[in-house]
Copies of this chain bind each other. A is one copy, B any other.
């Protein structure tokens, strides 16, 4: 241990830790020593008494968790929050979201991304996987606000080869930027909007450049049924045929993954992961949710996500954690399944793996990046504590996060955001909304037809 002062010392908290079997436990009366953006050690509060540190946080009564990871979102879409309510998927896309997105400017994306980052930092999210347009702008916001992000420039085949090329160019240029906080992926939209040729070319580029791929696939049962009737194979089999299962692949949603897809996924030579955002599946009244139990049986990590706020209405990953547990119990008809500890495993190591950062984030342990949130459990709704995992998953809420830290830097302290000015963003975005939501032009950026 170095003799120079630590950069940050967090004392008196309970720390969520993983043992060597990845079982979740809690170290009480602990301290976390942070140096050079990493966790140097997790020690006892008593042992930390004499330690020198540049910055100290007294976290008594709080629990330190690995920062939450939003494994699939479209951050700038917070600008459309509440604009397309109570609609089936097809009308949501064709009548509202895709017409409105034809108005989208870089300034809208910038303001949306700022608002989204503010929301996520306040909700204890330290990293997000974003799949959207004008991603240079999103990367700039991430750089400025201090979050970690896994970014991909989305494209449709309707854009011609330029879409694919732009996605590659973005991924290569930004990989490792913001002091390593930004990682990148190729981001074809989905098998129903990107041709087999483009998917195959993407797989090849991914392998050639060592890049992961992030896309929507088998989002719901309709898409799987349509794929089967049109092509005779499922969306997952389309990905396999295109070579995408040989890449490190993050699949958003996958509620349409069918039994015949499971051996295909199990045989994949790439690292495959799925992001689940259960709130939207309920809201769109999709018949299924992500088949987490089946995916677990074949070793596929499932990370937590919110999707964009235009469908999910918030970027509250904490809510996704609770809903994942509740919906999985209900769907499987088994109250013993997806316990709070399992939910926390999805929220931590599995989410870190889903965004390709399984070795650097997702747990609080020596050598890991210091992405940490401190959660206050002194409120009446989180007392008493008979089972801390249950308290965290089922009683605590995102608003109980008091402090959010990324790479050892405090981005929110005692609920005060330190890197973003929400009122200014809301004011400026508000002025732009009439132009953004105008649909009188009759254009849309794409047609939804599974």
Contact = CB atoms under 8 A, between A and B. Distances in A.
Q: Count the copies.
A: 2
A335 B284 CA distance: 5
A335 B119 contact: no
Nearest to A335: B285
B118 A285 contact: no
Contacts of A441: none
A421 to B, nearest CB: 11
A87 interface: yes
Q: Report the interface size class on chain A.
A: 35 or more
A433 B80 CA distance: 47
A contact face: mostly helix, strand, loop, or mixed = helix
A335 B87 CA distance: 6
Contact of A394 (B82, B391, B430): B82
Interface in A75-118: 78-83, 85-89, 115-116, 118
Interface stretch (A28-36, A162-170, A310-318): A310-318
A320 to B, nearest CB: 12
A255 to B, nearest CB: 11
A384 B426 contact: yes
A422 B376 CA distance: 14
B80 A287 contact: no
Contacts of A80: 386
Nearest to A400: B399
A334 interface: yes
Nearest to A111: B384
Contacts of A380: 78, 115-116, 118-119, 122, 422, 425-426
B340 A85 contact: yes
Contact of A82 (B85, B337, B390, B425): B390
Interface string A377-396: 01111011111001100110
A333 interface: yes
Contacts of A385: 82
Nearest to A119: B380
Given A81-B386, A83-B387, A122-B379, 13 more contacts: A78-B383, A82-B387, A85-B339, A87-B336, A89-B335, A119-B381, A283-B394, A285-B330, A285-B333, A380-B426, A383-B426, A384-B426, A384-B433
Interface of A: 78-83, 85-89, 115-116, 118-119, 122-123, 279, 281-287, 309, 313-316, 325-327, 329-330, 332-337, 339-340, 378-381, 383-387, 390-391, 394-395, 397-400, 422-423, 425-426, 429-430, 433, 437
